[in-house]
Amino acid sequence: GYTQIYIRGIGNGVFVGADPSVATFIDDVPRIYGSLVDDLVNVERVEVLKGAQGGLYGRNASGGVVNIITRQPTDTLAANIRLTGATRSTFQGAGYINVPLGDRAAMNASVTRNWHKGYRKNVAYEMPYTGVDAANGFNNGINPGKLNNQDVWAVDSKIRVNLTDDLKVTLQGDYNDKHDADGNGWLNTTPALTYGTYLFLAGLFGVQNPVAPWPVLNKDQNKSYGAYPHKSWTEDYGVSLKGELALDSVDLTSITAYRWNNSQFQGDIGASPVPIAGFSTNFKREFFYQELRAVSSGDGPFQYMAGGTFFKDKIDASIIGITLNFPGPATTSKTKTENYSIYGQGTYDLTDRLKLMGSLRYAHEKKKTSFPAPNPVTNIVKVDKWIPAATLSYDIDGGTLYARYAKGFKTGGPNPLVRPDRLPVGQQAGLILAPETVDTFEVGYRAQLFDRKVQFTSAIFYNDYKGVHAVTNGTAGNADISNALINLGDARTYGAEASISWRVSTPLTISANIGYLNAKYKDAFYPGNAFIQAVNAGDNTMILAPEWQGGAQIAYDQPINDSFRLKGNALVSYISKHYFTALEQSTADQSGYAIVNLRAGIATIDDRYALYLFANNLFDKRFYVFGATSSVGDFQTPGTPSLFGATIEAKF
């Protein structure tokens, strides 16, 4: 399904047809689509940059940035393999190899395979209609299939060539395929409303013998309804070329990338044993990205970074609404985006302890969405934006105190899923999204203390959030308008967070983190009209913004003789109550819960071979990870149940 990333209450609550609020980069290349395959085996490190990051990262970084750096080719022959088997027919396999190619080149490659059966049994009816209803085709298209299963392949390879001592190029390619129904085991939380809607539609379509009320399911039963074939398919692949030239006082970098992303999602928001309100979306996306960057490398109190980016993408979109089991007409569109920006960042050492850093980016974007005949129409949105940031930091013995301001910017644009001629002439609501912006204010302290045995970070922050993107639906007489994009209004978030890691002794490390968040809309209201439903979020809590989050971990690594070492860790994480919609409905919320994960095993003294036993979600806590509401009914998606298994690792 779609990847949801929220940082400090800011994230992407609008999925289909909208850009994310938290940017993801993998090896300096943006991954701009919510339908992202994120199973990576060759990760070297992950950097989570919290708060607005538009000055340095540009578009769609209003909430923050997830920066993933994978392993680069080296001059050492190496390989590793990891195999995992677990309950619920779970298999995970991963392999990695690095090979030197003479004195000036090297390559690496990785492969990942993740697979499991459905976590929830599909108990939808296979042939719910008989007699004249069956003869009239009401059973056609009903095919209850897998729910919440996983079937993922991913491969990645890089070749690095040192053309000279100062110039190197790296060619990278990857291919990811997700062909399953992961995330689709929905549970209906308003069964009476949904059954009433079913009876209304059955009468409207001429069903002679409607299906009787069906049993109500809950998250503890490992069962779901899915009358339509559910799909969560994504094919994501691309190539990139990175060139790096080291000069006397500056390092120059060029990043060129081309990527493709094809996705198909299908389901039924009725989450019932018979078809009610199905949908099928198909997206074909491709983009070109170019960045040129210069980073100073000389001595002196002033250091700088400067560069420019060019981005161009094309998206072909199609969405089909399915009532009972009869598809409606497809809404198709083509969207083209062109974005270019220039940026600069400078850091000046005011004293040996006091440092000032400032950045500024100018961005221009043009987005055009075209709808085909019979009534061809095109919407065009242009945006020009200056995006600043500044940080003042002061080094204290063992640590750094800092204060930061930054602006974030998320693009808007035309809605690719609602035809303009479907709404009155001149109406923009539901069709055009204005950009949303965030102003981030933050102060914090980070330190390494007691001979680096203790690492501590802390921050307090405030985000002023304007033009919040949201989605609403059509009114009762306009149920085909299922994805009207609107600017709901303003919001604000503030909070505090802290983390600590303490190496108590050579074998034992204890770490903990805690975060407090107060995230509220500010008189957020969209009045609606005869075509689009009103949305009144008022001063409600924002989507996926729990007041408290925290966790604690104990890690142990102790040699037991000259050949083997005992390794293990225990992790408990907690998240307080949160909502999946802006209206705080009890049918789309999740109470606070804690998850406990355990892992223990034995490894050779040099870590070449290891065997681990693990328990994820040890106490089989049942919880929801997503929820939504509609005029048909409300539904939620259960999270991963308990898994018990073993992992074998080998390094060569």
Please report whether residue 390 resides in a domain. yes
User: Which pLDDT belongs to residue 516?
Assistant: 98
User: Which pLDDT belongs to residue 593?
Assistant: 98
Would you say residue 220 has pLDDT above 90?
no
Phi, psi angles (nearest 5°) of residue 393: -130, 150
Please report whether residue 1 resides in a domain. no
Would you say residue 328 has pLDDT above 60?
yes
The DSSP letter of residue 578 is E
User: Which pLDDT belongs to residue 1?
Assistant: 53
Rounded Cα distance between 320 and 596, Å, is 41
Rounded Cα distance between 346 and 357, Å, is 6
Phi, psi angles (nearest 5°) of residue 128: -75, -20
Rounded Cα distance between 215 and 116, Å, is 27
Share of the chain above pLDDT 90, in %: 69
Average pLDDT estimate for 337-362: 96
Rounded Cα distance between 18 and 436, Å, is 12
Question: Strand 326-349 to strand 635-638: parallel, antiparallel, or no bridges (unpaired)?
Answer: unpaired
User: Which pLDDT belongs to residue 619?
Assistant: 97
Average pLDDT, the chain: 91
User: Which pLDDT belongs to residue 633?
Assistant: 86
Rounded Cα distance between 546 and 11, Å, is 13
Please report whether residue 213 resides in a domain. no
Check: CB of residue 355 under 8 Å from CB of residue 347.
yes
pLDDT classification of 485: cutoffs 50, 70, 90: confident
The neighbouring-strand residues paired with 286 are: 260, 314
Phi/psi region, residue 162 (left: phi>0; alpha: psi -120 to 50; beta: rest), is: beta
Residue 228, helix vs strand vs coil: coil
Check: CB of residue 463 under 8 Å from CB of residue 493.
yes
Which tops the pLDDT comparison, 425 or 295? 295
Domain that holds residue 101: 6-206+219-651
Q: What is the pTM of this model?
A: 0.91
Please report whether residue 214 resides in a domain. no
Q: Which amino acid is at 66?
A: V
CB-side neighbour CA atoms (13 Å) of 345: 20
Contacts of 150 (CB under 8 A, 6+ apart): 114, 115, 116, 180, 182
Contacts of 305 (CB under 8 A, 6+ apart): 56, 293, 294, 295, 296, 344, 345, 346
Question: Strand 524-526 to strand 508-522: parallel, antiparallel, or no bridges (unpaired)?
Answer: unpaired
Rounded Cα distance between 210 and 276, Å, is 12
The per-residue pLDDT for range 159-213, each reduced to its tens digit, is 999 999 999 999 999 999 999 998 888 999 999 999 999 999 999 999 999 999 9
pLDDT classification of 9: cutoffs 50, 70, 90: confident
Q: Poorest-confidence range of 3-17, 282-296, 337-351?
A: 3-17
Average pLDDT estimate for 336-353: 96
Number of domains in the chain: 1
Closest by alpha carbon to 178, among 130, 235, 222, 216?
Answer: 235
pLDDT classification of 16: cutoffs 50, 70, 90: low
The per-residue pLDDT for range 354-393, each reduced to its tens digit, is 999 999 999 999 999 999 888 888 889 999 999 999 999 9
User: Which pLDDT belongs to residue 586?
Assistant: 87
User: Which pLDDT belongs to residue 83?
Assistant: 97
Please report whether residue 406 resides in a domain. yes
CB-side neighbour CA atoms (13 Å) of 596: 6
Q: Poorest-confidence range of 42-46, 111-115, 429-433, 474-478?
A: 474-478
The per-residue pLDDT for range 539-597, each reduced to its tens digit, is 999 999 999 999 999 999 999 999 999 999 999 999 999 999 888 888 889 999 999 99
Q: What is the CATH number of the domain that holds 256?
A: 2.40.170.20
The per-residue pLDDT for range 17-28, each reduced to its tens digit, is 667 888 889 999
Q: Which of 17-21, 52-56, 424-428 has the highest mean pLDDT?
A: 52-56
User: Which pLDDT belongs to residue 17?
Assistant: 61
